[in-house]
Amino acid sequence: MTKEFLSRRGIPFEPMDVENDPRAREALAALGYRAVPVVQAGDRSMVGWNPTRLAALLGVTSFRETAAPAEDLIRSLEVVLDAALRAVRQVPDDRLTMRSPDRDRPLRQLAHHIFNIVEVGVDADILGRYHVAALVGDVPAQTTAERIARYGEMVLAKLTSWYREIDQAAFDRPIYTDDGPRPLALVFERTRGHAAQHLRQVYEFLRWCDIEPDRPLTREDLKGIDLPDALW
DSSP 141: T
Q: Average pLDDT of 179-192?
A: 90
Closest to 205 in 3D by CA, of 84, 121, 115:
84
- CA nearest neighbour of 129 among 198, 196, 63, 181: 181
Q: What is the mean pLDDT of the chain?
A: 87
166 shares a domain with 122: yes
**222 within domain boundaries:** no
**pLDDT tens-digit profile of 91-126?**
999 999 998 876 778 999 999 999 999 999 999 999
Helices 70-90 & 184-208, crossing angle to 10 degrees? 20
Confidence of residue 232 (pLDDT cuts 50, 70, 90): very low
Q: Which of 14, 35, 58 is the last residue of a domain?
A: 58
Are 109 and 138 in contact by the 8 Å Cβ rule? The answer is yes
Shared domain check, 135 and 45: no
- With bands split at pLDDT 50, 70 and 90, how would you rate the model's confidence at 83? very high
Sign of the Cα pseudo-torsion (58, 63, 69, 72, in order): negative
User: Is 167 within a domain?
Assistant: yes
In whole angstroms, what is the distance from residue 200 CA to residue 81 CA?
Answer: 12
pLDDT in tens, 144-178: 999 999 999 999 999 999 999 998 899 999 999 87
pLDDT at 19: 67
Query: 34 pLDDT band (50/70/90 cuts)?
Result: low
Residue 37: domain span: 2-58
Angle at which helices 107-127 and 184-208 cross, to 10°:
170
- Which CATH number does the domain housing residue 29 bear? 3.40.30.10
Domain-located, residue 95: yes
| Cα torsion through 51, 53, 58, 61, rounded to 10 | 80
How far from the centroid of its chain's Cα atoms is residue 225's Cα?
Answer: 12
Please give the tally of structural domains in the chain: 2
pLDDT band at 231, cuts 50/70/90? Answer: very low
